[in-house]
Amino acid sequence: MNSPAKRSPPVVFVVDDDSAVRESLDSLIRSVGLRVETFSSAQEFLRQKLPDAPACLVLDIRMPGRSGLDLQHELAAEERTTPIIFITGHGDIPMSVRAMKAGAVEFLTKPFRDRDLLDAIHQAIQRDQAALQRRADLAELQTRYERSCFDSQFVCQPHHVGCRLGAAGRQTGNRSNFVGWHIATAY
Which residues make Cβ contacts (< 8 Å) with residue 6, sequence separation at least 6?
A: none
pLDDT at 150 over 60: no
The pLDDT value given to residue 174? 45
CA dist 61 and 43 (Å) reads 14
Average pLDDT in the chain: 82
- Quick one: fold of 11-133? Rossmann fold (3.40.50)
- CATH 3.40.50.2300 domain residues, the chain: 11-133
pLDDT at 86 over 50: yes
Whole-prediction pTM: 0.74
